[in-house]
Amino acid sequence: MFPEKKTIVIGNWKMHGSLQSNEIFLEKLLSTLEDLNSADFFCGIALPAIYLFQFSSRLDNAPFFIGAQNVAQWEEPGAFTGEINAMMLAEFDCKFSIVGHSERRKYFGETDKLVAKKASNLLKSGIIPLVCVGEGQQEREKGSAIHFVKNQIDEIASCLGSDLLKKCNFAYEPIWAIGTGNVAKESDIVEMHGAVKELLVQIMGEVPAQNISLLYGGSVNAENVLSIVDQENVDGILVGGASVSMETFGKLLEKLAGRRQ
């Protein structure tokens, strides 16, 4: 699991990065984290898989973790051109992987059943799944956002079973908030996170449910981060656009570190 009692900050680079710019980012991230070493947040970056090696070779005792953004639905090596399985990811210090991001659901037709299979593959290789759920604009407008998200989790739970579900973490990412600058209202985040936690308690009981981290994602940046992470049942954030450069990501980390001083 992700460390308890720490605010979890996961960067989602999506299809970003280059060998050269990654080096600059790494240097700056390491020096920023060193400066902020009293901060009690846990930082991870979900990289395009091709860059895991570059980062993994520089991780010696580094205070952050690397992860992937996707994994193959197949466990074993096989004739699946272009795919990368969980065992391969694990070889490169990949500690967690996003699964079921709304962009994967939209562009690659990923269903909750498939997301559950991918999460199960990750767990077999010792990688923490960070399962994304979230409603679209339509469900939000119709007032069915909570129902929609609970259905997603129910479906994943019924495929995975509660023992494996206990080992997953979740990110609530309303689709209409991703990359749009329209961050969800604090009251909506609190309501949704409360509903998700309640559902997890129903499925697996109080103690395991409390150990699951529930992140918010969707247009998080240095300006709005504090108003989000201090909400009830928000264990951290999944940050897309603001995580790809240290100019914006560094500011966000500084805000988080500063709030406890």
Active site residues: 101, 173
At 96 the three-state DSSP class reads strand
Binders in 148-177 for ligand PGA, by CB under 6 A: 173
Inter-helix orientation angle 145-160/112-124, to 10° = 50
**95, containing H or E segment:** strand 94-99
Choice from 32, 69, 152, 219 touching ligand PGA (CB under 6 A): 219
Binding mask 92-131 for ligand PGA (x = CB under 6 A): ----------------------------------------
By CB under 6 A, residue 218 contacts ligand PGA: yes
Contact 88, 77 (CB under 8 A): no
By CB under 6 A, residue 240 contacts ligand PGA: yes
CA-nearest of 222, 153, 159, 146 to 191 is 146
By CB under 6 A, residue 69 contacts ligand PGA: no
Contact 125, 67 (CB under 8 A): no
CB nearer ligand PGA, residue 145 or residue 178? 178
By CB under 6 A, residue 258 contacts ligand PGA: no
Q: Dihedral through CA 186, CA 191, CA 194, CA 195, nearest 10? A: -150
232 burial via Cβ count (<10 Å: 0-12, 13-18, 19+)? exposed
Binders in 4-63 for ligand PGA, by CB under 6 A: 12
Choice from 239, 252, 256, 257 touching ligand PGA (CB under 6 A): 239
Which residues of this protein are in contact with ligand PGA, per CB under 6 A? 12, 173, 178-179, 217-220, 238-242
